[in-house]
């Protein structure tokens, strides 16, 4: 990769946080979105919660088999990432970020959810997707989950329908043949609706886990996960889960009541056992004889 390619990719990384959220670069650095290079002006990623992803689009998997996106939606949530496999920098970081986050979970692809990568470059072929899957699976280190990972390519028509629904915008610089694009992932419900999304190239494992449990409508995860979902609320503005103080205070109050009631019950049981085990006092021998 020559220096110009490297600089272009680096600039895309540095400006991601700005264009993905629709914000502009602060005026104190003398730039705005209008002052960005032309290749970056129409780049962004701003999904709408509860929007429907088109599940009938026809794509091609890494084994060159024609599939429909709905083939991966079967009573499980789906982690969806829009990338392109020949990306010189940013997409590799997204893939490594996904792998690093999922490696920390006790939920597994295939069993609890599906992982779907889709290339938005219609020129890419299944052979490249297969190479990318092999590389990602090597980093993930759980070959038994291979059936839960999917790397897809497709026609420009299918890609356009998918990226439009996800509100994902990108541009191709014809001089460098490099795409300028934002980065992030989406968590979809089993019905294909956008439940959660996370920006960037690193995805906190706690947030991804809560997102998957949330999207599954409680069908995966542990009681602890469901308790955390009560205490943590997703904030679309920051694309993160944050603690809700009021709910935590309420939960703390309920726990305090249960602890007090539990303590009362324990002490009552101990008191009853003590009374049961204490022998009745015997009358003196003289007194018993006199009574006769």
| Residue 270 C-beta-side C-alpha neighbours within 13 Å | 6
pLDDT at residue 14, as a whole number:
39
What distance in Å separates the CA atoms of residue 136 and residue 180, rounded to the nearest whole number?
22
Burial label for 193, CB within 10 Å (0-12, 13-18, 19+), is middle
What's residue 268's pLDDT? 74
Half-sphere exposure of 290 (CA within 13 A, CB side): 5
CA atoms within 13 A on the CB side of 85: 25
* Tokens of residue 138, six digits: 């090597």
Burial 65-98 (b: 16+ CB within 10 A, else e): eebebebbbeebbbbbbbbbbbbbbbbbbbbebb
Strand partners of residue 232: 243
Closest Cα to residue 13, out of 199, 208, 196?
Answer: 199
199-225 pLDDT tens trace:
999 999 999 999 999 999 989 999 999
User: Virtual CA dihedral for 199, 70, 148, 106, nearest 10 degrees?
Assistant: 60
- Residue pointed to by tokens 């759980």: 142
Residue indicated by tokens 């019950």? 265
pLDDT of residue 282: 59
Signed CA dihedral, 127, 133, 134, 136: sign only: positive
Residue 12 to residues 20, 82, 188, Cα–Cα distance (Å): 11, 15, 26
Q: What is the pLDDT of residues 81-101, one digit of tens each?
A: 999 999 988 999 999 999 999
N- to C-terminal Cα separation, the chain? 114
Give burial (CB, 10 Å; 0-12/13-18/19+) of 145.
Answer: middle
pLDDT value for 218: 86
Instruction: Report pLDDT for 5.
Output: 39
Question: What tokens does 283 get?
Answer: 């009358």
Q: pLDDT of the chain along its 292 residues, tens only?
A: 443 333 344 444 434 443 444 433 333 333 345 566 666 678 999 999 999 999 999 999 999 999 999 999 989 999 999 999 999 889 999 999 999 999 999 999 999 999 999 999 999 999 999 999 999 999 999 999 999 999 999 999 999 999 999 999 999 988 889 999 999 999 999 999 999 999 999 999 999 999 999 999 989 999 999 888 888 999 999 999 988 754 544 445 556 666 777 777 777 777 777 766 666 555 555 555 554 4
Q: What are the residue ranges of helices labelled H in the chain? A: 3-20, 38-41, 90-102, 126-140, 156-165, 205-215, 223-231, 245-277, 285-291
Question: What's this model's pTM, rounded to 2 decimal places?
Answer: 0.74
- Inter-axis angle of helices 90-102 and 205-215, to 10 degrees? 80
Query: CB of 11 within 8 A of CB of 5?
Result: no
């Amino acid at each position: 990769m020559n220096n110009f390619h490297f600089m272009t990719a680096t600039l895309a990384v540095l400006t991601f946080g700005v264009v993905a959220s629709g914000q502009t670069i602060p005026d104190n650095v003398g730039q705005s979105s209008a002052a960005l290079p032309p290749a970056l002006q129409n780049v962004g990623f701003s999904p709408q919660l509860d929007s429907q992803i088109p599940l009938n689009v026809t794509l091609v998997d890494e084994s060159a088999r024609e599939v429909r996106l709905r083939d991966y939606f079967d009573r499980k949530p789906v982690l969806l990432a829009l990338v392109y496999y020949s990306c010189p920098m940013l997409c590799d970081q997204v893939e490594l970020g996904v792998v690093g986050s999922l490696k920390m979970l006790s939920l597994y692809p295939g069993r609890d959810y599906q992982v779907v990568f889709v290339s938005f470059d219609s020129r890419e072929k299944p052979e490249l997707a297969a190479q990318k899957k092999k590389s990602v699976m090597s980093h993930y280190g759980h070959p038994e989950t291979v059936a839960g990972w999917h790397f897809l390519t497709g026609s420009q028509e299918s890609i356009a329908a998918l990226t439009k629904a996800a509100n994902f915008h990108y541009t191709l610089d014809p001089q460098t043949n490099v795409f300028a694009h934002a980065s992030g992932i989406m968590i979809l419900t089993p019905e294909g609706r956008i439940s959660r999304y996370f920006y960037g190239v690193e995805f906190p494992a706690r947030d991804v886990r809560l997102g998957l449990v949330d999207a599954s409508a409680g069908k995966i995860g542990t009681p602890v996960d469901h308790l955390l979902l009560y205490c943590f609320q997703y904030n679309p503005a920051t694309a993160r889960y944050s603690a809700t103080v009021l709910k935590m205070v309420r939960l703390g109050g309920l726990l305090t009541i249960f602890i007090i009631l539990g303590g009362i019950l324990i002490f009552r049981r101990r008191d009853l056992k003590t009374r049961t085990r204490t022998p009745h006092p015997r009358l003196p021998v003289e007194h018993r004889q006199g009574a006769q």
